[in-house]
Amino acid sequence: MLSALLVFATAGHAADVRIISSGGAQQILRTLAPQFEKASGKTVEVVIAVVGTIEQKLLAGERADIVLLPIPLLERIEKNSAFRSEYKAVVAQVGIGVAVREGATLPDVSTPAAVRALFVQTRSVSFPDPQQTPSGGHLLNVFEKLGIADVMRPKLTFRNAIEGGINLVRDGEIETGLYLATEILPAKGVRLAGTLPAALQGYIVYAVGVANGLGAASAATQFAKFLSDPAVREQWTKAGFELPSSLRAQ
């Protein structure tokens, strides 16, 4: 299957800023990019793809003025590609949530024991491809930790959210979806039962990086600073993100 690539922009011509990010940040960028455009008069093109696809594209030389990515991926890209961050800031983190079809009884996901019982009882589970996403790989480790890897294996369907994974839950083809909370909340026909408890959680911490050489006065740097401004943190929270511990004292 070809990985989905979503591009959205408000302008019909070449944008002033091109930002590449993953599906977990799609909704917040749909919210904040137009606000920045209105305030600055600059235009923004947003490219959304699966984490693994982003890494491949950037290593192959794809241009990005800004990236908004999980920190480990940003660090790998800076090490192995031509992209270097002139400005970089941690902005938010998001946890893995449990999605069920609209109208279904919300399961208890408050403790590891409750989550284990849910996984054992559910008939089917979908979550992101472990080969392409950090959350997918983490979930395989969760099943091992809970001692149910063999029980879960025949129930699993790997489908990234932006490639229709959550729609499988909406359509009743899959009973339980495990996706980032920010991917579940805006989806129609499903509900977020809650996020995994701390002992099982695999937070994805996002950082924004601006390509070296664009300068402090560039539209890209302005947009990156807008995204990391404490004044917009409430909007990140509404989208399903949390404040990383490194920012809680600020």
| pLDDT, average across residues 110-115 | 98
- HSE-CB at 69 with a 13 A cutoff on CA atoms is 31
Is 40 contained in some domain? yes
State the pLDDT at residue 247.
Answer: 67
pLDDT of 15 > 80? The answer is yes
Give the percent of the chain with pLDDT over 90: 85
For residue 54, tell me if it sits in a domain: yes
Mean pLDDT of the chain: 92
Of the three residues 195, 213, 234, the one that is the final residue of a domain is: 195
The pLDDT-based confidence of 14 (bands split at 50, 70, 90) is confident
Burial of 5 (0-12, 13-18, 19+ CB in 10 A): middle
74 and 153, same domain (yes or no): no
* CA–CA separation, 166 and 131 (whole Å): 18
Q: Is 56 contained in some domain? A: yes
CATH of the domain at 141: 3.40.190.10
**Which token pair is 100?**
């069920």
d(CA 54, CA 163): 14
- pLDDT value of residue 54: 93
Helix (H) or strand (E) holding 190: strand 190-195
**Would you place residue 216 in the very low, low, confident or very high pLDDT band (cuts 50, 70, 90)?**
confident
Torsion over CA: 213, 215, 218, 221 (sign): positive
Contacts for 125 with CB less than 8 Å, ≥ 6 apart: 119, 152, 155, 156, 157, 174, 175, 176, 177, 178
CA distance 99 to 4: 21
Same domain, 117 and 130: yes
Q: Taking the model in full, what pTM does it have?
A: 0.92
The reported pLDDT for the residue numbered 2 is 39
Residue 82: band (very low, low, confident or very high) from pLDDT cuts 50, 70, 90: confident
Check: CB of residue 50 under 8 Å from CB of residue 133: yes
- Is the CB of residue 125 less than 8 Å from the CB of residue 155? yes
pLDDT given at position 219: 95
Question: Same domain for 105 and 188?
Answer: yes
Tokens 């959680």, residue located: 201
Same domain assignment for residues 77 and 24: yes
Cα torsion 165, 21, 138, 115 to 10°: value is: -50
Sequence-separated (6 or more) residues with CB below 8 Å from residue 42: 16, 17, 36, 219, 222, 223
Q: Tell me: pLDDT of 109 over 50.
A: yes
Would you state the pLDDT for residue 36? 96
- Residue-wise pLDDT for 132-167, tens only, equals 999 999 999 999 999 999 999 999 999 999 999 999
CB 203 within 8 A of CB 93: yes
* Cβ–Cβ < 8 Å for 46, 19: yes
Share of the chain above pLDDT 70, in %: 93
- Answer yes or no: do 100 and 187 share one domain: yes
Structural domain contains residue 200:
no
pLDDT digits (tens, 9 = 90+) for 237-250: 999 999 987 666 55
Of 185 and 83, more confident: 185
Q: Is 113 domain-assigned? A: yes
Same domain, 163 and 178: yes
For 102, list phi and psi in degrees, rounded to 5.
-55, 130
Does residue 77 fall inside a structural domain? yes
Q: 63 with 120, same domain?
A: no
The number of domains in the chain is: 2
Same domain, 191 and 101: yes
Residues 9 and 84 in one domain: yes
Please tell me whether residues 210 and 132 are part of one structural domain: no
Q: Residue 217's pLDDT band (boundaries 50, 70, 90)?
A: confident
Q: What is the pLDDT of residues 185-201, one digit of tens each?
A: 999 999 999 999 999 99
What is the distance, to the nearest Å, from the Cα of residue 231 to the centroid of all Cα atoms in its chain?
Answer: 21
Q: Of residues 115 and 11, which shows the higher confidence score?
A: 115
Is 103 in the same domain as 190? Answer: yes
Residue 155, domain member (yes or no)? yes
Domain that holds residue 168: 96-195
Q: Look up residue 36 and give its amino acid.
A: F
100 and 79 within one domain = no
